[in-house]
Structure 1
Amino acid sequence: MELGLFRYCLGELQTQTLPGAVGFVAQLNVERGVQRRSPQNIRSVRQAFDPEQFNFNQIRPGEVLFRLHREADLPSALQQDDILVVINVSPLEWGHVLLVPEPTRGLPQRLLPGALQAGVEAVLLSSHPGFRVGFNSLGGLASVNHLHLHGYYLAHRLPVEGAPSKPLDPGGRLHLLQDLPAPGFLFYTSGPGPDLEALISRVCRATDYLADHEIAHNLFVTRGAPPGKTSSSSALTGVRVILWARKSSFGIKEGEAFNVALCELAGHLPVKTSQDFSSLTEAAALAVIRDCLLPPAQAGEVQAALVALIAKEEQ
């Protein structure tokens, strides 16, 4: 902050849990709503990287905190570049960073296995249960078309950590989260090893399908309970990866209390104005979120397609 790298001083955010069955965590963050960088001119989920637009090759050296580097002798089926850990100059919460795979490669905002593995492993490595990682696709409110994930701390439980789910395939590799405003596809891993690498491959095949079909999506990685288990804090030993397919939204929607991206779908609502923060109800939040979801028929088609992708693993 003393170096003038942030757009604003975050301070302690006013926080409330909205009354109701969902348990939304709302936070007042006026500065982010006003001072964050304007989104780029994006018109397609598959838009190519444009070096003339803002990208992470243009950030100041002081914005880079460190690199995540995999030791050469550690086993992994995935080839992985170093990952830059960069401050988000318009933070939504404490410790808000961006995980950026080697920026000089000029990768567009399309999820890749190495980037997702770095995000999931960062959650596993953190001793803080409130450290979360997420990804917004183009059309899913990504504001920069240069591959990056978000990471941040939130010291509040979220509905997605222990929400019940139903299995969508006999092997239990894909579940559908239930009792949430935005039903999401749930993938789970108990930790490093073949199980984690299988999850990475599975999730990225799902996001590839969505991108290839011009379907915007958001992804959230958090400590969570195994599918079918209780949501007590002692059960949050593994990692839940939740994927939402949604309507495309290009640009920022004015007039809404919040914009719907990765953290909002997970139940964390950064609200833009004091008036909206004081008047926001669960019903109003549900209406904003549900307006961004796919129509039921299209959602059913996506579910069937992802189940078919999972089934191919057995062939």
Structure 2
Amino acid sequence: MWKHFKFDPTSANFSYRTDEKFNEFDTLLRCEWDRAVTQGLFTFQIDHHAKYRILDKGNLNYIIQLNPSRYEKRRTPYPFENVNTPFDKNKFNFNKIKNEEILFSLDNEQDKDKYLIIINNSPIRPYHVLLVPNRELEQPQILTIDCILFGLQFVVSSAHPYILVGFNSLCGYASMNHLHLHGLYLPERLYLQTITCNLFHEKSNCYILSLYDTQAFVFEIRNLNEFEKIARYVCKITDYLSLQNIAHNMAIVKGESFSSSTDALRIFIWFRQSVVNGTMFERCNFACIELSGFMPLQYEEIFNELTESGLREDLNKIVLPTDVQQRIKEDVKHLLDNSFL
């Protein structure tokens, strides 16, 4: 049977400005992940020294990594056509994994096994895990408040300054339709942790990331008491995007507060063009991790030659038409306004 880690609110860590990388939570995750490696549960041998470099000729400092095995040996993603697709128990899902693939659960005293942390058997980096909430409910890949709370607890349980939690909708490069998040450690600071964003909706303290054509709504959380309130705002937006069949991605990172000198969690929600039937592009494919500033690449030639301007060019290919983006922003403002009625 897998282990349990009790979530401790008094040890919540919001800091991205620290030399400390690992605490008891991180040590457990790493030890259990290493145990899964020795049991041969991964689809390929993980390279702890994979080549990576930083595109530092612009202002994003994108991290790119050469990772051909991830593309060549991972499970083939299902060819989804709609963001809203019912759960299908006949297809692969997390109720079919081996118990050994479960690393541990992140619990409080009332909810053992509610929040499972399992291996990603085709990882982007060492210690890349999946966060599976309430797996027995067989929920499709549509964000819930409870799922977001799991992601927030995961991030603040870790001491690592560059830890990331991400979500991909169907048609936003989710490879399976059973609710889950990605969790991984990144080797350098991400641009999302410090990038300036413009205020979008004052009452909800929602911001907009408009550094490039593909935009994102952004929230910050400065203390544990804000977890549920912000999770509800995020869900209002992602529920709307799902109902409108608009592909989206989410990321949670530690970073600077937009409105004070304290550290805060930052939550980004991108709205973007759908990728239908799992189409992959030769150079850059943007899911939550890639949108956050870390781009795994399949081919060494592209790894050696890619520039930030080239990456931006690919990123702008997933932008929605201007009128659609404007409609989404107007609708989201209306949704957030109604939160205060």
TM-score (norm: length of structure 1) = 0.92
1:21 aligns with 2:47: no
Post-superposition offset of 1:180:
4.4
Letter in 2 for 1:100: V
Please state whether the residue corresponding to 2:166 is helix, strand or coil.
Answer: strand
Q: Note the alpha carbon deviations across 1:234-278, whole angstroms, 9 max, x for none.
A: x5x210000001111024434422311001111111111111101
Post-superposition offset of 1:102:
2.2
Q: Give the structure 1 partner of residue 242 of structure 2.
A: 211
More divergent stretch after superposition (210-219 vs 54-63): 54-63
Please state whether the residue corresponding to 1:291 is helix, strand or coil.
Answer: helix
CA RMSD in angstroms comes to: 1.7
Post-superposition offset of 1:228:
5.0
8 Å Cα contact 2:141/2:169 also seen in 1: yes
Aligned equivalents of 1:125 and 1:166: distance in 2? 29
1:119 aligns with 2:124: no
Q: Give the structure 2 partner of residue 85 of structure 1.
A: 117
1:227 aligns with 2:258: yes
Post-superposition offset of 1:191:
2.1
Please state whether the residue corresponding to 1:100 is helix, strand or coil.
Answer: strand
Please state whether the residue corresponding to 1:238 is helix, strand or coil.
Answer: strand
Runs of 4+ in 1 over 3 A off after TM superposition: 251-255
Aligned equivalents of 2:317 and 2:113: distance in 1? 37
Q: Give the structure 2 partner of residue 239 of structure 1.
A: 265
8 Å Cα contact 1:173/1:310 also seen in 2: no
Aligned equivalents of 1:280 and 1:175: distance in 2? 30
Aligned equivalents of 1:159 and 1:182: distance in 2? 15
Letter in 1 for 2:328: V
Aligned equivalents of 1:30 and 1:229: distance in 2? 42
Q: Note the alpha carbon deviations across 1:140-174, whole angstroms, 9 max, x for none.
A: 00000000000000021111111111111232521
8 Å Cα contact 2:213/2:319 also seen in 1: no
Q: Give the structure 2 partner of residue 36 of structure 1.
A: 74
Aligned equivalents of 1:196 and 1:189: distance in 2? 7
Q: Give the structure 1 partner of residue 95 of structure 2.
A: 57
Aligned equivalents of 2:210 and 2:256: distance in 1? 14
Post-superposition offset of 1:186:
0.6
Percentage identity across paired residues of the two chains? 32
Aligned equivalents of 1:283 and 1:247: distance in 2? 20
Please state whether the residue corresponding to 2:201 is helix, strand or coil.
Answer: coil
Aligned equivalents of 1:214 and 1:253: distance in 2? 17
Aligned equivalents of 2:52 and 2:41: distance in 1? 25
Aligned equivalents of 2:254 and 2:277: distance in 1? 30
Letter in 2 for 1:8: F
Aligned equivalents of 1:81 and 1:108: distance in 2? 19
Q: 1:312 to 1:255 in 2, by over 3 A?
A: closer
Letter in 1 for 2:156: L
Aligned equivalents of 1:15 and 1:212: distance in 2? 38
Please state whether the residue corresponding to 2:276 is helix, strand or coil.
Answer: coil
Aligned equivalents of 1:202 and 1:266: distance in 2? 20
Which structure carries more helix by proportion? Answer: 2
1:301 aligns with 2:339: no
Post-superposition offset of 1:2:
2.1
Gap regions ≥5 residues in structure 2:
1-36
Aligned equivalents of 1:292 and 1:302: distance in 2? 15
8 Å Cα contact 1:94/1:154 also seen in 2: no
1:261 aligns with 2:305: no
Letter in 1 for 2:208: L
Gap regions ≥5 residues in structure 1:
73-78
Post-superposition offset of 1:21:
2.4
Q: 1:271 to 1:181 in 2, by over 3 A?
A: farther
Letter in 1 for 2:338: K
Structure 2 residue corresponding to 1:137, chosen from 158, 161, 169: 169
Post-superposition offset of 1:299:
0.8
Post-superposition offset of 1:22:
2.0
Matched pairs, number: 303
Aligned equivalents of 1:181 and 1:164: distance in 2? 15
Q: Note the alpha carbon deviations across 1:162-207, whole angstroms, 9 max, x for none.
A: 11111112325210024346321111101211x2211000000110
Q: Give the structure 2 partner of residue 71 of structure 1.
A: 109
Q: Note the alpha carbon deviations across 1:14-70, whole angstroms, 9 max, x for none.
A: 111113222111011110011111111312101000111111111111110011112
8 Å Cα contact 2:80/2:278 also seen in 1: no
1:96 aligns with 2:122: no
